[in-house]
Amino acid sequence: MASRARDILFVGLIGCVLALPQGCAKPPAIAEPPPPKVTVAHPQVRELTDYEEYNAWTAASAEVEIRSRVRGHIVKVDFVDGEIVPAGKLLFELDPSPFLAEIGRAQGQLAVAQASQEQAIKEEERYQQLYDKKAVTSQDLEQRQAARKTWDAQVATAADEIKRRNLDLEYAKITAPIGGKVGRAFLTVGDLVNAGGGDPLLTTIVSLDPIYVYFNVDSPSLIRYRRRRLASHPEQARPLEESEIPFEFAMELDEGFPHKGILDFADNRINSATGTIEIRGRADNSAGLFIPGSRCRVRVPVSDPYQGVLVPDTAILTDLDQKYLLCLNADNIVTRRDVKLGRLLDDGLRVVSPAKSDAEPLRTEDRVIVQGLQRARLNYPVEPMDEAGHIVARSE
């Protein structure tokens, strides 16, 4: 019995000895995970100009209401509603018969006055001779001289009346004072103009070329613009119409700002109720593309051209009130670059500059993480890829 117990103990010791090397061996090493893949892009540098945009509206450069200066019946309407007419084009014609009759009557009055004037001149000459012979008194001569002067005035008045009647005949033909687009005719053939002594509207004309564009600028923007402009161009402290400042505008269905013009007028004071000042620009409209009263958008340059550094707007992160980018150093280690934001371009790129003036600006060879930002950790390595999935070489 005791011998059997010793055998069992011996077998157990042998088993422990055989199992001892395996229990004391080191566990296998765990492989490090590869760096996470991120998409990077290089900053771009472009020549840029800063703009400010405003709501605007178009207006005719000239607008005229056509009214008759004389009374009469319309015998002719010589235009088609809505057509483009040149300056001097006949629009309406009144019946000339009454005006011709008045001219004839005035000419008759002139002839009577001229005959009396001729008689008065002869009487004056005769009395002058008698006075020289002391046959009449000076009072008699003065009476004849006064009579002659009276008829001189009558002749002049009759001649002026003929001129006035000729003007009335000329005014019977109502012409376009400016070139442009004519509206509809409010009166037509057979209507009596000035029937009640009023001054009825016949039609209107608006000048389409050039076209005016009006918009309102808030006073803070105006002050900033003037300070910036005077700082870089002291010689432009002069009226707006002399500065030749360009602007761009777009109609409601346009893409971008395809139309250009020149600013030529600014109101002489700021509206205290709205805090804005009215600005006007003019643009070529020889093709007739723009209609007065249309709504549009205006873009005005507020800086000189400069070299701007651009990165995708999606790459910008926020830490409280500070904006920053995640970039890679030469060893593909993630670093942070604090930036100050500029304007956002139409293609999704954002203008950026160093948050501090003494900080190093971004370079075109730098690598900015644009996708996979949630996988990147500061001071840890990543594997940079381009948009096509190819590995991006390290920066030199």
Q: DSSP of 242-281, one letter per residue?
A: HH-EEEEEEETT-SS--EEEEEEEE-SS-BTTTTEEEEEE
| 3-class secondary-structure state, position 280 | strand
CA gap 146, 148 in Å, rounded? 5
Could you tell me the domains of the chain? 39-46+307-385 (2.40.420.20), 52-60+209-301 (2.40.30.170), 96-165 (1.10.287)
Question: Does residue 27 surpass a pLDDT of 50?
Answer: yes
142-158: pLDDT as tens digits = 888 898 899 999 999 99
Least confident of 31-40, 45-54, 386-395: 386-395
Confidence of residue 16 (pLDDT cuts 50, 70, 90): very low
Mean pLDDT score, 349-368 = 89
Cβ neighbors of 80 (< 8 A, separation 6 or more) are: none
Percent residues over pLDDT 70 in the chain: 86
% of the chain exceeding 90 in pLDDT: 42
232 touches 304 (CB < 8 A): yes
Residues whose CB falls within 8 Å of the CB of residue 2, separated by 6 or more in sequence, listed in order: none
CA–CA separation, 296 vs 58, rounded Å?
Answer: 7
Q: What is the average pLDDT value for the chain, to the nearest integer?
A: 84
> Which pLDDT band holds residue 13 (cuts at 50, 70, 90)?
very low
Q: What is the pTM of this model?
A: 0.67
Q: Is the pLDDT of residue 6 over 60?
A: no
Two structure tokens written together for 190: 């057979």
Residue 337 pLDDT exceeds 70: yes
Q: State the Rg of the chain over Cα.
A: 47
Q: Identify the burial level of 81 via C-beta atoms within 10 angstroms of its C-beta, where 0-12 means exposed, 13-18 middle and 19 or more buried.
A: exposed
Residue 39 has pLDDT above 80, yes or no: yes
- Name the one residue in this structure whose structure tokens are 């700082």: 231
CA 80/CA 160 separation, integer angstroms: 37
Neighbours of 336 (CB within 10 A): 14
